[in-house]
């Protein structure tokens, strides 16, 4: 994929945020109270939160909820399909080095089915639908902090619902901890400390990014400054991608990430080696993604410059997922064709004889159409032997894939 939906925006070399502060969009919000919050179900696709929305009374569309983004964004192709009014030109970058061009959107809003009285403006149209292949479903847009800041947003990964509380009357009485944040162009920034294996804790500023499907990413200037990629650190080559294309780096582990009083042991960690893009930023230490955030029920209370973390029943579970070594993308009208996009050397996938471009047509005798990309990826995170039927050009092959822990 998309291991991140992490979007930063630029106009003529400067952050787009400043260009939009003078805009005339008006946000309309529906009422919510602490006693009667608005409850919205969501779907998880490769650890990304998918909400159903409508844009100007369109058919239901799939938008990702992302704290790593500020504005509501719609895919450029979808905007043209819906005949939205577009104007001006912008460029998009993110994790990875590439930039993409898009447009401002005028006189357009999105609504959430069942959320009566709610609408907010759609601000940008960008070519993001290509990331659908990494999610395994239609990816029509992104909702960011312009939405979140109007409420206290309670996010529960276990029940797969968000609750929107009135930000003016909300009072928290649970067992969690309140952690201060700063909003930087809509992104929640918090102070945390990371402890390298065999080292001492290092404090830094991190963006809390539920739009990242990863656990912890340390940005390349931070990695270089603290010499975190030592010869004694066991790593594998990173083979993920972000909004700006493929990501360069190594994946290994750190001893601990500390958020407030909470200690997350041995998180899988990307040590970025990017030279450009978000993961090459010197202003932050790194990015805390969904694999860590999902260990909590989280309250995003931007109006009081805080988040509240409340551990859930998965908090103590270790990061012990197996790795297949094959990064898959979903293709076809229903996203049920699973092609190997990238192959990691010296991995279970390469040892099984798989190649880039191979199509997995069946797993343990079940046709690929019986799976989603999310369910296939979750399956391959379990250490077991899987009997694969693989299409390679005109050939049909039978192989055994045995994912295992590599780091």
Lowest mean pLDDT among 24-28, 292-296, 307-311: 24-28
Lowest mean pLDDT among 99-108, 236-245, 299-308: 236-245
What residues contact 140, with CB distance under 8 A and at least 6 apart?
61, 62, 63, 74, 75, 78, 129
Rounded Cα distance, 368 and 41, in Å: 27
Q: How much is the pTM?
A: 0.88
* Burial classification of residue 198, based on how many CB atoms lie within 10 Å of its CB (0-12 exposed, 13-18 middle, 19 or more buried): exposed
Mean pLDDT, the chain, integer: 89
Is pLDDT above 70 for 35?
A: no
pLDDT at 361: 97
Average pLDDT of span 298-325: 97
Is pLDDT above 80 for 12?
A: no
pLDDT at 89: 83
- Portion of the chain with pLDDT greater than 90, in percent: 80
Neighbours of 273 (CB within 10 A): 17
Lowest mean pLDDT among 43-47, 90-94, 203-207, 269-273: 90-94
pLDDT at 29: 53
pLDDT at 232: 85
pLDDT confidence of 247, banded at 50, 70, 90?
Answer: confident
* Burial classification of residue 311, based on how many CB atoms lie within 10 Å of its CB (0-12 exposed, 13-18 middle, 19 or more buried): middle
pLDDT at 4: 38
DSSP state of 131: G
**Token pair of 286 as six digits:** 């790194």
pLDDT confidence of 347, banded at 50, 70, 90?
Answer: very high
What residues contact 370, with CB distance under 8 A and at least 6 apart?
none
pLDDT at 359: 98
28 vs 396, higher pLDDT? 396
Neighbours of 400 (CB within 10 A): 12
Closest CA to 324 of 304, 302, 342, 300: 342
Identify any residues that bridge with 10 across adjacent strands, giving them in sequence order. Answer: 15, 91
First to last CA, the chain: 21
Is pLDDT above 60 for 96?
A: no
pLDDT at 241: 60
Closest CA to 92 of 2, 197, 11, 209: 11
Is pLDDT above 80 for 17?
A: no
Neighbours of 281 (CB within 10 A): 19
Average pLDDT of span 296-307: 98
Q: Of all helices (H) and strands (E), which one includes residue 148?
A: helix 145-148
Is pLDDT above 70 for 334?
A: yes
């Amino acid at each position: 994929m998309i291991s991140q939906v992490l979007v930063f925006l630029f106009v003529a070399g400067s952050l787009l945020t400043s260009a939009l502060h003078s805009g005339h969009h008006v946000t309309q919000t529906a009422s919510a109270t602490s006693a009667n919050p608005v409850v919205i179900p969501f779907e998880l696709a490769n650890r990304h939160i998918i909400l159903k929305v409508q844009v100007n009374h369109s058919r239901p569309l799939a938008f990702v909820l992302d704290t790593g983004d500020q504005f509501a964004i719609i895919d450029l192709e979808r905007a043209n399909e819906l005949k939205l009014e577009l104007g001006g030109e912008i460029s998009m970058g993110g994790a990875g080095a590439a930039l993409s061009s898009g447009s401002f959107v005028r006189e357009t809003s999105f609504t959430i089915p069942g959320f009566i009285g709610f609408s907010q403006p759609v601000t940008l149209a960008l070519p993001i639908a290509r990331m659908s292949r990494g999610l395994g479903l239609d990816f029509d847009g992104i909702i960011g902090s312009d939405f979140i800041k109007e409420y206290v947003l309670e996010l529960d990964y276990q029940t797969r619902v968000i609750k929107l509380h009135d930000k003016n009357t909300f009072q928290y009485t649970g067992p969690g901890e309140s952690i201060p944040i700063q909003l930087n162009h809509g992104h929640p920034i918090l102070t945390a400390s990371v402890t390298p294996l065999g080292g001492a804790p290092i404090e830094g500023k991190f963006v809390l990014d539920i739009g990242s499907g990863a656990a912890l990413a340390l940005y390349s200037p931070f990695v270089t400054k603290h010499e975190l990629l030592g010869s004694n650190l066991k790593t594998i080559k990173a083979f993920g991608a972000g909004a700006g294309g493929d990501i360069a780096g190594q994946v290994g582990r750190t001893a601990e990430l500390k958020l407030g009083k909470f200690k997350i042991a041995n998180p899988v960690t990307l040590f970025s080696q990017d030279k450009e893009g978000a993961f090459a930023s010197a202003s932050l230490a790194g990015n805390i993604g969904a694999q860590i955030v999902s260990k909590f029920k989280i309250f995003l209370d931007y109006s009081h410059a805080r988040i509240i973390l409340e551990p859930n029943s998965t908090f103590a579970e270790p990061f012990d997922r197996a790795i297949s070594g094959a990064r898959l993308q979903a293709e076809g009208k229903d996203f049920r064709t699973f092609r190997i996009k990238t192959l990691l050397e010296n991995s279970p996938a390469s040892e099984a004889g798989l190649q880039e471009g191979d199509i997995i047509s069946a797993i343990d005798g079940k046709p690929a159409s019986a799976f989603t990309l999310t369910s296939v990826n979750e399956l391959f995170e379990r250490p077991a032997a899987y009997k694969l039927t693989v299409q390679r050009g005109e050939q049909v092959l039978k192989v055994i894939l045995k994912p295992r822990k590599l780091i």
